[in-house]
Amino acid sequence: MSEAAFINSENTLPRHVAIIMDGNGRWAQQKNKPRHSGHKAGVEATRNIIQECARRGIEALTIFAFSSENWKRPKSEVNLLMELFLTALQRELSKLHKNNVRIRFIGNTSSFPEKLQKKISHASDQTAGNTGLNLTIAAGYGGRWDIVESVRAIVDEVKAGKIDPNDITEESISAHICLSGIPEPDLFIRTGGEKRISNFLLWQLVYTELYFTDILWPDFDVSAFDQALNAFSVRQRRFGRTAEQIETKLNNGRL
């Protein structure tokens, strides 16, 4: 097979990047610092990657800030994460809005502190009309929760007579799932060395290219992001087609 068949023929730059930002705690441990210092350093890394996505013209970025399983962590760490989340929103919102970034949140935030819930709602409302980078923050989120919520919404529509059960399709489920309305992720990045998706965007990642790195999140800089993007650019995205079909369409200039 020729080298051309391995090239990501659809686009060398992903439209949508999804990231599990893992390794804050281990980063702090390696430096003999408290865990909260790792989370603070992680916020700085997040800011840099958001800026880089906006600069490159990437359409959407989804980051896993707090999973539904993170509630199992020590209460002191959860409280610190909530405080850090609120502080980061208060500090960054104005700049993100000024740079035309649209912020939205996915997940069950009902157990978050009331002040944080209000700030989340305010950030979503204030940036709703922005047309730049779509920044989605998954907070209190779980992929299985996402699918269950979609099913519940469809069941309600069936009960109301709005839809026939026989008409339920992948498309109708996708329309109710989180991230509907923006392209599904093209590239998934997980830092920190773990090689799993940890209940993140289970429905949406079906054809996403997966990229894992041992770099801990606070150390994930623009150079590391470049490596991930370069790896994506040489992936062959078949979407069920054969390599021969891809190469033929490449040669015919159809992809």
Could you give the residue numbers annotated as active site? 22, 70
Tell me how crowded residue 23 is: count the other CB atoms within 10 A of its CB.
Answer: 26
CB 43 within 8 A of CB 120: no
Residue 61, SS3 per DSSP: strand
As to burial, measured by CB atoms within 10 angstroms (0-12 exposed, 13-18 middle, 19+ buried), residue 15 is middle
Tell me the two tokens of residue 204: 């949406």
Contacts of 17 (CB under 8 A, 6+ apart): 53, 58, 60, 61, 62, 185, 186, 187, 188, 189
- Residue written as token pair 């950030």: 123
CB 240 within 8 A of CB 207: no
CB 35 within 8 A of CB 25: yes
- First CA to last CA across the chain, in angstroms? 17
Give the separation between CA 76 and CA 74, rounded to whole angstroms: 5
CB 54 within 8 A of CB 36: no
CB 136 within 8 A of CB 127: no
